[in-house]
A = this chain, B = another copy of it.
Amino acid sequence: MRYREALREALREEMRRDERVLLMGEDIGVFGGAFKVTDGLLAEFGERRVRDTPISENTIVGMGVGAAMCGLRPVVELMTINFSLLAFDQIVNHAAHIHYMFGGQARVPLVVRMPQGAGHQLGPTHSHCFEALFLHVPGLLVAVPSTAADAKGLLKSAIRDDNPVIFIEHESLYGVRGEVPDSDEHLVEFGRAHIARAGSDVTIVGVSRMALTAQRAAALLESEHGVHAEVIDPRTLRPLDLDTILESVAKTNRCVIVEEGWPHGGVGANLAALVSEQAFDELDAPVRRVSGADLPMPYSKPLEDIAYPHEAQIVDAALQALGVAGAAAHRS
């Protein structure tokens, strides 16, 4: 099943299971969704539960907050994460704070779904990765699924959770196929990292789409350099399963973090800080970060190609962490 279909399955199952679940977003109904995630749901559930909205991001999210406070469980789709900046006030000052600010009286069981990512030549305003902006905010849960199975399991968990969830999909993953457990109760817990590939030489943490790039890089490290990399996909950034990462680093003594977004104050910086502080004695080399370039994403293909991470940079970073420069080297 494709990542896109896994998300649709999660929505369909949860909508069947719970009448309080409804969808709101731009072109999610008649158009079927900009990335076709919600295709067919209008036909099945009707206009009461699948609602096309005007282009009013801040208000769509804010309505989701209000509806959630009053007992519904809205799932709001923002067409892409690039437009979430317009809804940032409702997400931070309202959705994230209301439960605490009102002394626990109100709950905001809201899910805000949106895809991020570069690689399609969408240029500076349409290629953002903003995990870092959301993981910064207490009160939010943040998911960054990289596989179809996690996409379905995490989305179902998100819809059932009583906290506001920022659910970050990736434009490049919608078409990717993967095994998905055939069960209405396939739930993936938040705060549980996934060891995508076991290894003993170096720990590579890949966030969102980069979890897959990291796995391909790990295969190259093995075949071309005889290096056994362990690849960890945190799957959620709030809560964060730091323990699994620390256990791996305790074993490998080396760590590379891969993110697609901007390096300054990015998710990579957050993870690098945590690992450097808490695995200080285990680290044989500085944590290496591989990130998107520190600039607005250019449209032109050759520039875009070098502006976000690929296998080669991850392999290099891993070899540097291992203290081996160049190719065909072995662990020193």
Contact = CB atoms under 8 A, between A and B. Distances in A.
Interface of A: 58, 82-83, 85-86, 88-89, 92-93, 96-97, 100-101, 123-125, 132-133, 135-139, 238, 240, 262, 264-270, 272-274, 276-278, 280, 283, 285-289, 294-296, 298
Counted per complex, copies of this chain come to 2
A93 B82 contact: yes
B270 A267 contact: no
Contacts of A283: 280
Contact of A269 (B88, B138, B269, B288): B269
A229 to B, nearest CB: 19
A287 B123 CA distance: 37
Contact of A139 (B273, B285, B296): B296
B262 A265 contact: no
A272 B265 contact: no
B270 A277 contact: no
A266 B136 contact: yes
Nearest to A299: B101
Contacts of A295: 100, 138-139
Contact of A100 (B268, B270, B276, B296): B296
A304 B258 CA distance: 36
A125 B90 CA distance: 11
A278 B133 CA distance: 24
A137 B238 CA distance: 21
A289 B264 contact: no
Given A101-B123, A123-B101, A278 B286 contact: yes
B136 A124 contact: no
Nearest to A275: B276
B286 A276 contact: yes
12 contacts: A86-B89, A100-B295, A133-B265, A138-B264, A238-B264, A265-B267, A268-B273, A269-B272, A269-B274, A273-B273, A276-B276, A276-B286
Given A123-B101, A265-B135, A273 B296 contact: no
A276 B282 CA distance: 13
